[in-house]
Copies of this chain bind each other. A is one copy, B any other.
Amino acid sequence: MIEYRNVRVALLGAGSVGSQVARLLLEHGDELASRAGAGLELVGIAVRDTDAPRDVDLPKELFTTDAASLILGADIVVELIGGIEPARTLVLQALQSGADVVTGNKALLATHGPELFAAAEQVGAQLYYEAAVAGAIPIIRPLHDSLAGDRIERIMGIVNGTTNFILDLMDREGATFEDALATATELGYAEADPTADVEGYDAAQKAAILASLAFHTSVPLAAVHREGITSVTIEQVRAARKAGYVVKILATAERLTDAQGVEGVSARVYPALVPESHPLASVHGAKNAVFVEAEAAGDLMFYGAGAGGVETASAVLGDLVSAARRHVIGGPGIAESTQSALPVFPIGSVSTRYQITLHVADAPGVLSTVAGVLADHGVSVETVEQTAATDPGDGTAGTANLVIGTHLARESALADTVRALRDEDVVVEVTSVLRVVGA
């Protein structure tokens, strides 16, 4: 039996992830020690209410409500409280005291990342955050270390399990958005207030974190363009499948050059059409996946559980072992790298492809009118499909559906095009506008 020196670990928060981290630390102590080269001693768990019910049965004497004192006696602080305060203050205190911090707090990183990384750098402490994006899936470390010698061009992530579950149910069982959301809530995949998920706020936080890391540039949450899935209709999902696509909500981080030739980055979240043959299309249920396009490596995908207490605890423990190794041997951890400091572009600068579905009058010259609007805005048409919609049966002209697939064009030009189409008399309604990616 090898004897190890102990590294003192303070845990803040004992929710679904925190309680699993505590359980695994206590149950797998010897195995973790052999990996880390140091014993991981759980010195205490700070919670708001020591008597609250927990998912896991943990020794009573570990609990305290005095987080600040707990931090002062720790080498490594694991923050799993979530939200901004008191998490921010406690993480800053921990870093300033020289402790390394492991966190799964995406909201905190997306809004106060630069402040936290600066505090860490000042004292040579480290901030680890594998659990903040895509739960159990190793993605932070591969981006930071494995791809450190490559140049990442684009990341497209299914990083929110709730919305992937909903869209997958709509696609595979023909459920409406409302029914799918109800099922997700019933099965515990969606919270009572699903806004953060279905409106894309959660995915936007992850997009900011991924973009900052991948492009070595601080990408603020406010710069992430965000569209949720509440307006995705079952008709859109059906039409997409018929055309060989699946609707997925993607967090995208991309290196691009704007119209003025300036190199920069974009981070955005929106539902988009993904070709059925694309690896992201076969990510079902509440699973997550992050698709990475790198200059040398080509296409990579990282797939797994994006949430869940014990699954996310795996990512936290991985960071904890790394932090403990570093504590014993010294050396580099996961530092922020913002050396590139590229400009962050608004959504208008992004080039994308649109699929526009129009409900139009079925009269001579309609196609020419529509095509003229696109041409006026410099948007080039790749495909057009016209199908008769309804015959009013009263002798007046019927209507038709027009599905237009565009070539790559700037978002700004595409948005202007859609606006102009809405103003045309021959256009009864713009039924659907969806971006097409990965084709």
Could you mark each residue 120-143 of chain A with 1 if its beta carbon is under 8 Å from any beta carbon of chain B, else 0? 000000000010000011100110
Could you mark each residue 303-323 of chain A with 1 if its beta carbon is under 8 Å from any beta carbon of chain B, else 0? 111001011011111111110
Could you mark each residue 138-158 of chain A with 1 if its beta carbon is under 8 Å from any beta carbon of chain B, else 0? 100110011111110000000
Q: With A145-B318, A149-B24, A318-B148 as known contacts, state yes or no: A311 contacts B332, CB within 8 Å.
A: no
> Is A28 positioned at the interface, with any CB of B under 8 Å from its CB?
yes
> Is A91 positioned at the interface, with any CB of B under 8 Å from its CB?
no
Q: Which residues of B contact A317 (CB under 8 A)?
A: 148-150, 296
Interface residues of A in 139-179 (CB under 8 A from B): 141-142, 145-151
Q: Are B279 and A303 in contact (CB under 8 A)?
A: yes
Sort chain A's interface into a size bin: 35 or more
Measured CB to CB, the closest approach of chain B to A163, in angstroms, equals: 20
Q: Are A303 and B304 in contact (CB under 8 A)?
A: no
Name the contact of A300 in the complex, choosing from B138, B151, B320 (C-beta under 8 A).
Answer: B138
Measured CB to CB, the closest approach of chain B to A133, in angstroms, equals: 12
Q: Are A297 and B136 in contact (CB under 8 A)?
A: yes
Q: Are A297 and B302 in contact (CB under 8 A)?
A: no
- Cα distance, A302 to B291, chains bound together (Å): 10
Q: Are A318 and B136 in contact (CB under 8 A)?
A: no
> Is A377 positioned at the interface, with any CB of B under 8 Å from its CB?
no
Q: Are A35 and B304 in contact (CB under 8 A)?
A: no
Measured CB to CB, the closest approach of chain B to A391, in angstroms, equals: 42
Q: Are A296 and B311 in contact (CB under 8 A)?
A: yes
Q: Which residues of B contact A279 (CB under 8 A)?
A: 282, 303
Q: Are B300 and A303 in contact (CB under 8 A)?
A: yes
- Cα distance, A177 to B294, chains bound together (Å): 33
Q: Are A147 and B314 in contact (CB under 8 A)?
A: yes
- Cα distance, A298 to B312, chains bound together (Å): 10
Q: Are B24 and A296 in contact (CB under 8 A)?
A: yes
Which of A147, A282, A319 lies at the interface centre, i.e. has the most chain B CB atoms within 10 A of its CB?
A: A147
Q: Are A151 and B296 in contact (CB under 8 A)?
A: no
> Is A36 positioned at the interface, with any CB of B under 8 Å from its CB?
yes
Known interface pairs A299-B305, A302-B303; 19 further A-B residue pairs with C-beta atoms within 8 A, sorted by A's residue number: A28-B151, A34-B337, A34-B339, A35-B339, A136-B298, A138-B138, A141-B142, A145-B318, A148-B318, A149-B318, A279-B303, A296-B313, A297-B314, A297-B315, A298-B304, A298-B311, A300-B303, A325-B331, A329-B331
6 tightest A-B CB contacts, nearest first: A331-B331, A149-B317, A138-B146, A297-B314, A136-B297, A296-B314
Q: Please, could you name 9 A-B residue pairs with CB atoms under 8 Å apart, sorted by A?
A: A34-B216, A35-B216, A136-B294, A136-B298, A138-B145, A148-B321, A150-B314, A298-B305, A301-B301
